Structure 1
């Protein structure tokens, strides 16, 4: 039985008992102390045992390259599989659907995680995520107390953040070289796509719709979606505002986007539904049949398919330029 599982049982038995002061034993093996920015940059040659600082400032020690990993968000899972860690991934969320092999892994939940199931999987490493850490931390406390390494991955808001995330996950899993290759390939794809769009003289104005009626949300400055639009040489309809915004139909009509891109797939016949909204027949995007639905998973997950997301968005906005 793994040492952390023994520790977990001990924690459970001691719950509610008075804590006693214990002497701290000196570890037999020294760990390599690596700053988080070094891990993310891929500059350090990482060896195990490894101590790193994650995105929320927690110091995490990983004794050896993990062979039993739980991923708590789909983007982390995509990175792990891209790194070749198919067999090492033992648990994923209910929403993990890519690659196909991820759908066969044990499901640990979605917004609420099954701690008992996670414990039974005996992970060597849990990859959490900054975006949900404030709600997940308390539930994971038994595993934290038992000494299971939990690395909280950065909430990537740009291509550079995404590259750093891939490199960081590569480092803590012993796959730094593979991570560097993935990043290099992505950068080459991005350069190729952006080069195709450099000749665009008149930028199109784009409204990114991330959810439909009755609550229409879109992305402004400071979001990954904004950078995607910047890189394809397009204007964000709400570039004058920050973060995620709730919009109403009247304002969308008054701003008159050239293109409307739907980044969700939970509404059936979503494109037709948008076109049928009151007043939307006045919008250029509707008049020119430029309401386009893209793959939600690809364009919203900051992982190895982000270059593919750029390609898909470019085709949606500039089909006349992005010819195969």
Structure 2
């Protein structure tokens, strides 16, 4: 999971797709069928569509995808949120949400199984722009097999995630739903920020986020979702001056003297038991908490839930 956390990032902006609901003087019993027919016609009209992927390459999707393989959990979550769950035929070994993914064929972990993917006969593969997921040889083999591959680039901010949702929405004929998801995320995030404005500068908590324990302690610095989330709730990320997901010595972590410590791997108990940390304010006051790593590091629709979870543990008196 540590490797996974370090591959944090994904894309997003917004493209609207108008849904027309044709209504004639037909009776009520025929209305549902008419709506379904209209949706089908609209979906067909949306194709072929050309989008620019995470590598800056233009990808043309000739017709509505019927079978989709996702190589990374965040893309899978976006696809499900767009209502494409029934079309997903393969997911990575790391996929765990929603529950339905457990029924899907597994296509490997960091190194995906090319033969397995080809055997599933997908007409669209949702790939990723970093790490082994962007294995040039692997993706080329998929393309040579006649499979359309859409590379979704790394998301390092909420804006990037919005772009990812928009991109996948346009590529699958669900741009209208994508816009709806983005709008809901933006609304919820603004509501949280508005609530956090009541926190005065001198009352802002200093937060240390630990994504892996000693001997190699990693934290979340600038350019990560966690840093953006902490800022959104009017708190201070003590490692905010560092970039990405840096490794920090135990001495430096202790020197930060955080008011609150958050772990993303279930390590709150062990942090409280560290002798060298006994004088850290967060430890002395027993303000050490575990949060769901997927919610705070997986660039998908549930990121706002991650903001809410952080807000509740850092400012429980405000975010109840």
Structure 1 unaligned spans of 5+: 1-36
Taking the aligned partners of 1:287 and 1:260, their CA distance within structure 2 comes to 11
After TM superposition, the structure 1 = structure 2 runs for residues 184-199 of structure 1, keeping only pairs within 5 Å, are 184-199=183-198
Q: Secondary structure at the match of 1:151?
A: strand
Which residue among 292, 296, 299 is the counterpart of 2:296? 299
Taking the aligned partners of 2:80 and 2:174, their CA distance within structure 1 comes to 11
Q: Secondary structure at the match of 1:304?
A: coil
Task: Give the C-alpha shift of residue 133 in structure 1.
Answer: 5.7
Taking the aligned partners of 2:184 and 2:168, their CA distance within structure 1 comes to 17
1:133 and 1:152 in contact (8 A); partners too: no
Aligned-CA RMSD value:
1.7
1:91 and 1:118 in contact (8 A); partners too: yes
Taking the aligned partners of 1:293 and 1:47, their CA distance within structure 2 comes to 44
Structure 1 residues 67-109: Cα deviation after superposition (integer angstroms, max 9, x where no partner): 1000010000001011111110000001111000011100000
1:72 and 1:129 in contact (8 A); partners too: yes
Which residue number in structure 1 is paired with residue 268 of structure 2? 271
Count how many residue pairs are aligned between Structure 1 and Structure 2.
282
Runs of 4 or more above 4 Å deviation: 43-46
Structure 1 residues 181-206: Cα deviation after superposition (integer angstroms, max 9, x where no partner): 11111111112212221111111110
Q: Could you state the TM-score of these two structures normalised by the residue count of structure 1? A: 0.83
Task: Give the C-alpha shift of residue 59 in structure 1.
Answer: 2.0
1:271 and 1:292 in contact (8 A); partners too: yes
Taking the aligned partners of 2:132 and 2:154, their CA distance within structure 1 comes to 10
- The structure showing larger relative contact order (alpha-carbon pairs under 8 Å, at least 6 residues apart) is 2
Q: Could you state the TM-score of these two structures normalised by the residue count of structure 2? A: 0.84
Structure 1 residues 2-48: Cα deviation after superposition (integer angstroms, max 9, x where no partner): xxxxxxxxxxxxxxxxxxxxxxxxxxxxxxxxxxx9x9431577821
After TM superposition, the structure 1 = structure 2 runs for residues 194-233 of structure 1, keeping only pairs within 5 Å, are 194-201=193-200, 202-233=203-234
Structure 1 residues 215-252: Cα deviation after superposition (integer angstroms, max 9, x where no partner): 11011112221111110111010122222211111111
Which residue number in structure 2 is paired with residue 247 of structure 1? 248
Taking the aligned partners of 1:190 and 1:135, their CA distance within structure 2 comes to 31
1:108 and 1:118 in contact (8 A); partners too: yes
Which residue number in structure 1 is paired with residue 154 of structure 2? 155
Structure 2 unaligned spans of 5+: 1-10, 19-44
